[in-house]
């Protein structure tokens, strides 16, 4: 748990301070706007896959919360 | 489909077809992906406007308006703005610019032959022409059953300005957007102005006229390609909606430079409609122009 | 050329008229009021995705699952998401008992005693014990609302439910998102709470009780709470990266009420069976990292996840998808691969020896065992804009997807002498076929 909190706070710190040099201007986002470039762009496929893996494996979620809600595990 | 090509002077060109014309987006040096992306943005906007205001499609706004003639219709914002503009141009031009002049098409076919319509046929159509006969008070439009409206006279230039606005927000380099000869530039290239060639058909000087453009828009009107020829008289396809007949002594081509393509297009159309007085009219308006006879 | 210093009267009015036309309200969408166009207009702010999936395991379960998802953009910049799933499963489900040379007879969960013939099933020699009458139908749905709190901050409220005849579940979640660095960075945090109500067919069995005693009755509940923190960062024009850290904890009835564990005698013949029992709490931590890199002809998505939990399980997952647009950009192919590895839960035992004491927690559910899993997939999609004519939209698409999944158990003890030569840990092989439509 402690390790997790440290990792998380390091990530947030790195992101809010050191990352101002990373990134693009608004008019450079044309590629990023494509559906296959968006996290969450393949929601339906992910949901079907996640349901399959949830019912066959011991891990679930990670991409988003709440992997459960189904009686199949 | 879009076609990318390299042009001299470190310029990238994206070609496509829209509004029944060859269209082009020229850009200063950018990555091909961005060029194609911007090109498709411009093409999409041209297609959107073309489809929305097409006279031939049943699913366009005009199709809808023409199906419901005689009833009061509430048009959408874009159509309302165009109708307002058409009304102002009608008033400013004393009736020369009239989007209701479509019915004249039925008797005039400019196919280079000598089939000039009979005067009665033309006279019969005049009662159903005239913007003042429409009932227009934004956003309510009522088109009488025997009339029709057509944005063909300003469609292409309007599309250039719309595409220009979309591109200006997204394009980091100087660009030139050209829909079949009506064009607009954002700013000059790093090494100098844009070089534009204007065709000079039927002229003793076959070479194109070269213009240098740093800012603003160009629009060209004229009747060089479509006409009728009978008894030694050439009837150009620019018709005076007040008489139903071609404007006498219309110049072959008028090119106007202005800050927006819509403005340039209107001025060039009005100039042609002035016939003999084209050059004087343009001079009075203090606008850069080139009149070819 | 420069704007002329003095301009004619008509021209100045024309300029004013042009400004009114062009400087007017933005025209983002064509709008008409025609009845036929009402469909397109109503759908302008909606994005629909629908799919029908068919899943088939060799000799075991098959399932049909239609899914639909709808996203609606709100005028204030927020969004509503709705999803709905129905799935119907049938086939054979492993009951947890060990494969044996002896013929084994079991009772279906609904049976109250061995005397009820129609609720029994027999497993022949050398076969994995499965309940062949397994069938289940499930209905599930969810909704979420994203609302802007300020230009850079959004809140998200969500709820999900799932309903089948022996299991109901309801989840609520709350989250917050904030953009930084010119919207190049987004940080998010969310909390969710899940409540499940189980009503096993035949009643929940007393854990670790003798299978033949049919000690069953009643219903059970479980409850879970989770938190997730994430950051998304645009690295360059064509690279975006995302990392999530999540922790969740479930407590209550975490057993599978239908699973038993074989008790084997010294020779290795089945001596009896007991119902499994798992600890009544489980805490999981996971770290997830995703990268998407794109170019004009396609993109690649690579992600990895590491998970550990309080049951002694830890797992690694790695996945890659390659989107390849065919020339013409109307169609694409997307091959994908996934590699997964987990180790066994502390209390996983493929069987129990009759001489040893029964541990307080034991399960022989292969899903808690150590295994490697591989998935290979191929997806084909094609844009529908031109074919649907005026009802087409830029994002409308038809797609079809095929995946092959195989799970290989590993590291398990060799069976007792009586089972030598038998495959105690069969490989699971399954395929998924899905057709989908986006509009």
d(CA C196, CA C140): 13
Label residue B270 by pLDDT band (50, 70, 90). Answer: very high
In this predicted model, what pLDDT tens digit does every residue of B212-261 receive, in sequence order? Answer: 788 889 998 886 566 777 777 777 778 889 998 888 888 888 889 888 89
The pLDDT score that the predictor gives to residue B251 is 84
State the chains in contact with A (3 or more Cβ–Cβ pairs under 8 Å). Answer: B, C
Hey, which residues does B88 pair with through a beta bridge? none
Global pTM exceeds 0.80:
no
* Token pair of A33 as six digits: 């706007």
The pLDDT score that the predictor gives to residue C34 is 33
Is the pLDDT at A39 greater than 80? The verdict is: yes
**Contact state of C403 with A49 under an 8 Å Cβ cutoff:** yes
Q: Domain residues of chain C, as ranges?
A: 9-438
The pLDDT score that the predictor gives to residue B138 is 82
d(CA B162, CA B81): 13
d(CA A73, CA A46): 18
Q: Which of C1, C7, C296 sits opposite B36 (nearest CB)?
A: C296
Q: What is the mean pLDDT of residues B7-36?
A: 87
Chain B residue at shortest CA distance from A33: B37
Torsion sign, CA atoms C85, C88, C93, C96? positive
Residues of A with CB under 8 A from a CB of B: 25, 27-28, 30-31
**Contact state of B92 with C295 under an 8 Å Cβ cutoff:** no
Long-range pairs for B102-108 at CB < 8 Å and ≥24 separation? B102/B55, B102/B148, B102/B149, B102/B150, B103/B128, B103/B129, B103/B146, B103/B147, B103/B148, B104/B129, B104/B239, B104/B241, B104/B244, B108/B228, B108/B237, B108/B239, B108/B246
Contacts of A13 (CB under 8 A, 6+ apart): none
Tokens 């010119």, residue?
C182
**Contact state of B37 with A25 under an 8 Å Cβ cutoff:** no
Cβ atoms < 10 Å from Cβ of C164: 18
d(CA B139, CA B129): 21
The pLDDT score that the predictor gives to residue C391 is 42
d(CA B265, CA B257): 9
Label residue A69 by pLDDT band (50, 70, 90). Answer: low
Q: Which of B36, B89, B259 sits opposite C17 (nearest CB)?
A: B89
Contacts of C64 (CB under 8 A, 6+ apart): C52, C53, C54, C55, C87, C88
Q: For the residues of chain A, what is the DSSP string, one character each? A: -HHHHHHHHHHHHIIIIIGGGS---GGG-TTTTSGGGSTTTTHHHHHHHHHHHHHHSS---SSSS----STT-
Q: What is the DSSP-derived secondary structure letter of residue B251? A: -
Tokens 């699973």, residue?
C259
Q: How far does B69 lie from chain A, in Å, by closest CA? A: 42
d(CA B136, CA B152): 19
Which residues in chain C touch residue B33, judged by CB atoms under 8 angstroms apart?
A: 295-296
The pLDDT score that the predictor gives to residue A21 is 64
**Contact state of A15 with C231 under an 8 Å Cβ cutoff:** yes
Cα angle for residues C118, C122, C123 (degrees, 5° grid)? 155
Does A18 touch chain C if contact means CB atoms closer than 8 Å? no
**Contact state of B88 with C17 under an 8 Å Cβ cutoff:** yes
Chain A and chain C share a number of CB contacts under 8 A equal to 213
Closest CA to B259 of B210, B218, B289: B218
Q: What is the mean pLDDT of residues B107-124?
A: 82
* CA C368 vs CA A57, A62, C371: distances in Å: 7, 18, 9
CA B66, B71, B72, B78: dihedral to nearest 10 degrees? -10
The pLDDT score that the predictor gives to residue B225 is 61
d(CA A22, CA C76): 29
Residues of chain C predicted below pLDDT 70: 1-7, 24-45, 75, 77, 117, 328-329, 385-395
Chain A residue at shortest CA distance from B168: A27
Q: Which residues of B180-216 are buried (b: 16+ CB within 10 A; e: fewer)?
A: bbbbbbbeebeeebbebeebbeeeeeeeeeebebebb
The pLDDT score that the predictor gives to residue A12 is 57
Q: Domain residues of chain B, as ranges?
A: 1-53+154-192, 61-150, 195-222+246-293
The pLDDT score that the predictor gives to residue C389 is 43
Does A2 touch chain C if contact means CB atoms closer than 8 Å? no
Q: Would you say the ipTM is above 0.90?
A: no
Q: For the residues of C185-230, what is the DSSP string, one character each? A: EEEEEEEEEEEEEE--TT-PBPTT-BGGGT-B---EEEEEEEEEEE
In this predicted model, what pLDDT tens digit does every residue of B46-59 receive, in sequence order? Answer: 999 998 998 888 78
H/E stretch holding C398: strand C397-409
* Token pair of C402 as six digits: 């095929």
H/E stretch holding C404: strand C397-409
Chain A residue at shortest CA distance from B169: A27
The pLDDT score that the predictor gives to residue C299 is 94
Let me know: does C330 contact C383? Beta carbons within 8 Å.
yes
State the chains in contact with C (3 or more Cβ–Cβ pairs under 8 Å). Answer: A, B
Let me know: does B254 contact B220? Beta carbons within 8 Å.
yes
Q: How far does A7 lie from chain C, in Å, by closest CA? A: 9
CATH class of C9-438: mainly beta
Q: How far does B264 lie from chain A, in Å, by closest CA? A: 29
Which residues in chain A touch residue B172, judged by CB atoms under 8 angstroms apart?
A: 25, 27-28
Hey, which residues does B214 pair with through a beta bridge? none
Q: For the residues of C137-167, what is the DSSP string, one character each? A: EEEEEEEEEEEESSSSEEEEEEEEEEEETTE
Let me know: does C351 contact C264? Beta carbons within 8 Å.
yes
Does A6 touch chain C if contact means CB atoms closer than 8 Å? no
Label residue B206 by pLDDT band (50, 70, 90). Answer: very low
Chain B residue at shortest CA distance from A27: B170
* CA B235 vs CA B58, B111, B246, B277, C271: distances in Å: 32, 11, 6, 17, 108
Closest CA to C435 of C388, C385, C404, C401: C401
Q: Any idea which architecture B61-150 has in CATH?
A: Orthogonal Bundle (1.10)
The pLDDT score that the predictor gives to residue B165 is 92
Hey, which residues does B196 pair with through a beta bridge? B211
Interface test with A, best of C71, C79, C167, C184 (most A CBs within 10 A): C184
């Amino acid at each position: 748990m402690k390790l997790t909190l440290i990792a998380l706070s390091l990530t947030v710190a790195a992101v809010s301070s050191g990352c101002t040099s990373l990134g693009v201007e608004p008019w450079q986002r044309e590629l990023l706007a494509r559906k296959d470039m968006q996290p969450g762009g393949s929601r339906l496929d992910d949901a079907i896959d996640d349901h399959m893996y949830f019912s066959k494996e011991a891990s679930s979620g990670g991409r988003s919360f709440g992997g459960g809600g189904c009686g199949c595990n | 489909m879009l076609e990318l090509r390299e042009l001299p002077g470190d310029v990238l060109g994206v070609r496509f077809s829209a509004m029944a014309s060859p269209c082009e987006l020229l850009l200063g040096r950018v990555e091909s992906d961005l060029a194609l992306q911007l090109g498709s943005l411009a093409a999409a906007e041209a297609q959107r406007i073309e489809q929305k205001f097409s006279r031939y499609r049943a699913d366009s706004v005009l199709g809808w308006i023409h199906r419901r003639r005689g009833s009061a219709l509430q048009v959408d914002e874009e159509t309302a703005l165009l109708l307002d503009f058409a009304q102002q141009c009608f008033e400013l031009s004393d009736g020369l610019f009239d989007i209701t002049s479509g019915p004249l098409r039925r008797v005039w076919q400019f196919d280079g032959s000598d089939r000039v319509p009979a005067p009665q046929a033309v006279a019969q159509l005049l009662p159903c022409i005239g913007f003042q006969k429409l009932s227009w008070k934004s956003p309510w439009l009522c088109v009488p059953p025997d009339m029709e409206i057509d944005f063909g006279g300003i469609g292409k230039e309007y599309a250039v300005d719309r595409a220009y606005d979309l591109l200006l927000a997204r394009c980091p380099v100087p660009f030139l957007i050209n829909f079949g000869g009506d064009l607009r530039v954002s700013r000059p290239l790093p090494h100098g102005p844009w070089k534009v060639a204007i065709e000079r058909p039927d002229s003793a000087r076959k070479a194109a006229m070269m213009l240098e453009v740093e800012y603003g828009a160009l629009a060209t009107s004229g009747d060089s390609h479509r006409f009728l020829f009978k008894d030694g008289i050439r009837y150009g396809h620019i018709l005076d909606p007040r008489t139903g007949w071609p404007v006498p002594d219309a110049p072959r081509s008028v090119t106007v430079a202005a800050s927006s393509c819509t403005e340039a297009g209107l001025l060039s159309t009005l100039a042609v409609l002035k016939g003999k007085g084209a050059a004087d009219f343009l001079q009075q308006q203090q606008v850069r122009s080139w009149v070819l006879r | 050329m420069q704007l002329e210093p003095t301009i004619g009267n008509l021209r100045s009015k024309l300029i004013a008229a042009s400004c009114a036309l062009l400087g007017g309200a933005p025209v983002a969408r064509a709008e008409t009021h025609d009845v036929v166009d009402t469909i397109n207009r109503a759908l302008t702010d909606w994005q629909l995705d629908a799919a029908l999936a068919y899943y088939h395991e060799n000799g075991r379960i098959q399932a049909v699952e239609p899914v639909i998802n709808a996203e609606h953009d709100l005028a204030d910049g927020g969004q509503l998401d709705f999803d709905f799933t129905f799935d119907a499963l049938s086939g054979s489900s492993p009951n947890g008992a060990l494969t044996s040379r002896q013929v084994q007879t079991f009772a279906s969960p609904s049976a109250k005693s061995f005397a009820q013939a129609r609720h029994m099933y027999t497993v022949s020699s050398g076969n994995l014990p499965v309940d062949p009458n397994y069938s289940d139908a499930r209905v599930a749905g969810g909704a979420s609302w994203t609302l802007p709190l300020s230009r850079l901050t959004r809140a998200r409220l969500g709820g999900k439910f799932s309903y089948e005849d022996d299991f109901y579940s309801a989840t609520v979640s709350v989250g917050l998102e904030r953009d930084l660095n010119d919207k190049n960075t987004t940080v998010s945090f969310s909390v969710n709470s899940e409540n499940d109500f189980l009503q096993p067919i035949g009643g929940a069995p007393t854990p670790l009780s003798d299978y033949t005693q049919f000690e069953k009755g009643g219903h059970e509940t479980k409850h879970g709470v989770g938190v997730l923190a994430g950051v998304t960062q645009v690295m360059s024009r064509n690279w975006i990266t995302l990392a999530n850290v999540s922790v969740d904890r479930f407590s209550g009835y975490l057993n599978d009420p239908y699973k038993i564990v074989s008790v084997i005698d010294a020779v290795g013949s089945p001596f009896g069976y007991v119902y499994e029992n798992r600890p009544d709490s489980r805490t999981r931590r996971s770290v997830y990292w995703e990268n998407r890199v794109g170019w004009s002809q396609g993109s690649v998505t690579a992600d990895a996840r590491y998970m550990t939990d309080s049951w002694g399980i830890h797992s690694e997952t790695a996945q890659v998808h390659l989107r390849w647009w065919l020339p013409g950009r109307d169609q694409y192919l997307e091959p994908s691969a996934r590699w997964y590895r987990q180790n066994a839960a502390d209390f996983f035992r493929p069987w129990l020896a009759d001489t040893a004491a029964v541990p307080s927690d034991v399960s022989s559910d292969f899903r808690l065992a150590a295994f490697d899993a591989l998935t290979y997939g191929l997806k084909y999609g094609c844009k529908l804009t031109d074919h649907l004519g005026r009802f087409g939209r830029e994002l409308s698409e038809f797609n079809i997807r095929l995946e092959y999944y195989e799970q290989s158990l590993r590291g398990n003890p060799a069976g007792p002498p009586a089972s030598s030569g038998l495959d105690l840990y069969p490989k699971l092989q399954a395929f998924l076929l899905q057709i989908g439509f986006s509009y």
